[in-house]
Amino acid sequence: MEPVSANPSAPPPAHHVHALRRFNRYFTRRIGALDDHYLGQDRPLGEARLLFEIGGEGASLRELRSRLGLDAGYLSRMVRALETQGLVRVTVHPHDNRLRVAELTAAGRTEVTEQNRLADELAEGLLAGLGGRQRDELTAALGAAQRLLRLAAITVVRVDGASRDARDCLAAYAADIDARFPEGFDPAALVRPHEVSGDAGAFLVAYEEGRPVACGALRRLEPGVGEIRHVWVHPDARRLGLARRVLRGLEEHAGALGCTVVRLDTHAVLTEAQAMYRACGYTEIPRYDDNVYAAHWFEKRLPSAAKP
């Protein structure tokens, strides 16, 4: 896996760094601390967090371990403690006897609900000091900040078209558009791994905290002409501007593979995608393939790789 345009720009100017640190200091002191102390009520923080993380659906110990970053032994003991307190029930995983699954009992659920109520109350108390317009502003600012922080944490890397993550992404993509296209979607229309690997093309996957959240494929149509396909973003990661990042990465790879033009097609129902392609410099062209799902065809001339 090689990172794609990892650092597109020079180191960030100091004032951004300071703004982030200032905010961090203020926020963790004012809010984070409060949250933790009040939530914990009568329970060690570790246990409170664990309960919260088990949540309504339950979770395997393995998952809890990775989500909370805990030592296996430590977690095992904590779960046992919660079990003897009657808050948690532990069973073996139905499909894999190595795994155990922790679920909340009724008492556990009550406690988590109470935790949530307290946290809500705390947040309400905080917001009570603001007027309606100011609350709107705050919510908007926090939303924007979170969006950008998430985006900053996502890395786009090139992977082999036959890799596990690539296949998973394509499967999710296929399921997604199958549900969206009125006529459904036949996975046979997906690119073959060899078309997007090695010198033939490229397959990019975006990772957020280790999980694939977006993908995009590039294959060669003819010498000098690449085709972008299967740009997909996980529902949880939409509206972050991730598709553009994947697109930019694919264009870079196209340039590196000697393409001067990239093309792509889209289905009639994917109107946001069409808008994005236009906004990214693509112009509509006549049909160039016989893709039965396509209704619009686009092309973009790549800036020739400038050498300094």
Partner DNA sequence: ATATTCCTTTGACTTTAGTCAAAGGAAAGT
Partner DNA sequence: ACTTTCCTTTGACTAAAGTCAAAGGAATAT
Q: Which residues bind DNA (CB under 7 A)?
A: 44-47, 60-62, 65, 70-77, 79-80, 90, 96-100
From 2, 42, 57, 124, residue interacting with a second copy (rule: CB under 8 A): 124
The C-alpha atoms of residue 183 and residue 111 are separated, in whole angstroms, by 47
From 157, 156, 65, select the one nearest 102 (Cα to Cα). 65
Residue 260 Cβ vs a second copy, minimum distance, rounded to whole Å: 24
- Span near a second copy by CB under 8 A; candidates 29-37, 91-99, 178-186, 291-299: 29-37
Sheet of 100-104, strand order: 59-60, 100-104, 88-92
From 92, 106, 153, 189, residue interacting with a second copy (rule: CB under 8 A): 153
Nearer to DNA, 101 or 262 (CB): 101
The C-alpha atoms of residue 102 and residue 134 are separated, in whole angstroms, by 41
Is 45 a binder of a second copy (CB under 8 A)?
Answer: no
Could you count the other beta carbons within 10 Å of the beta carbon of residue 261? 16
Nearer to DNA, 65 or 167 (CB): 65
Phi first, then psi: give them for residue 75, nearest 5 degrees.
Answer: -60, -45
Contacts of 45 (CB under 8 A, 6+ apart): 36, 39
Is 189 a binder of a second copy (CB under 8 A)?
Answer: no
For the chain, counts of helices (H) and of strands (E): 10, 11
From 8, 210, 223, 286, residue interacting with a second copy (rule: CB under 8 A): 8
Burial environment of residue 179 by CB neighbours within 10 A (0 to 12, 13 to 18, 19 or more)? exposed
Q: Decide: 243 and 233 in contact? Cβ < 8 Å.
A: yes
Residue 265 Cβ vs a second copy, minimum distance, rounded to whole Å: 28
Nearer to DNA, 70 or 104 (CB): 70
From 72, 92, 107, 145, residue interacting with a second copy (rule: CB under 8 A): 145
From 130, 171, 189, 256, residue interacting with a second copy (rule: CB under 8 A): 130
Q: Which two tokens stand for residue 163?
A: 């890799």
Is 1 a binder of a second copy (CB under 8 A)?
Answer: no
Q: What angle do CA 273, 149, 300 make, to 5 degrees?
A: 30
Count interface residues toward a second copy (CB under 8 A): 56
Nearer to DNA, 210 or 223 (CB): 210
Residues that bind a second copy (CB under 8 A): 6-9, 11-13, 15-17, 19-24, 26-28, 30-32, 35, 119-120, 123-124, 126-132, 134-146, 148-155, 241
